[in-house]
Amino acid sequence: MEGLSKYSDRVLLTREEIDAMVKRLGAEITRDYAGKKLFLICVLKGGFVFMADLVRAIDLPLEVDFIAVSSYGSSTKTSGVVRLLKDIDKPLNDKHVLIVEDIMDSGLTLKYIKSLFEGRSPLSVKIVTAFDKPERRRVDITPDYVGAVIPDEFVVGYGLDYDGKLRNLPELSVLRRDVYEG
């Protein structure tokens, strides 16, 4: 079987629900950043699908860039170690930074990224995450904008991967346990 349906038998959020979620976030960000220099920084790779939708839901002039970090390897549990693989190339001093993340889990990745950017003296640094698993938080960090709070389960699709794959599932789905527990 070549299709993606075998990897999940439970959809958490449909494409339509995600669309409505992104529209709501876009409207909130449009309202909050009116008249400000907005700079969206996407955390690769997981954030790329959300980023592409979100920028088109924001009715303001804005700039984008991308960073890449690694913290997971191929397992479904965090290693707790964050490594910066690709940085941005512009100074941040006259900008309002909004970090765009796919999902917040332990919070370790965002904690690291947020303090990295705060050290470069931008006008502000905030976080928008498509999905949040607050039960799993290990460090004290709260996203400023949240698309949807989800239960403590390993999810795939809408940019989120398992072992580098399944990012192209259009909905957010729970990964079947037998896929990773064998």
Catalytic residues: 105
Helix (H, G, I), strand (E, B) or coil at 86: strand
Residues 96-115: x/- map of binding to ligand IMP (CB under 6 A)? -----xxxxxxxxx------
Residues 6+ apart with CB under 8 A from 2: none
Burial of 60 (C-beta count, 10 Å sphere; 0-12/13-18/19+): middle
Per CB under 6 A, which of residues 64..103 are in contact with ligand IMP? 71-72, 78, 101-103
128: left (phi over 0), alpha (psi -120 to 50) or beta: beta
Identified binder of Mg ion from the candidate list 7, 18, 22, 46, rule CB under 5 A: 46
Host H or E run for residue 19: helix 15-32
Segment 10-49, which members bind ligand IMP (CB under 6 A)? 46
Q: Which two tokens stand for residue 105?
A: 């889990």
Binding at 106: pick from ligand IMP, Mg ion, none (beta carbon under 5-8 Å per type): ligand IMP
Q: How far is the CB of 89 from Mg ion (least distance, A)?
A: 23
Residue 131 CA to residue 119 CA, distance in Å, equals 26
Q: Candidates 29, 42, 160, 172: give the one binding ligand IMP (CB under 6 A).
A: 160
157 binds Mg ion (CB under 5 A): no
Residues within the interface to ligand IMP (CB under 6 A): 46, 71-72, 78, 101-109, 154-156, 160-161
Residues within the interface to Mg ion (CB under 5 A): 46
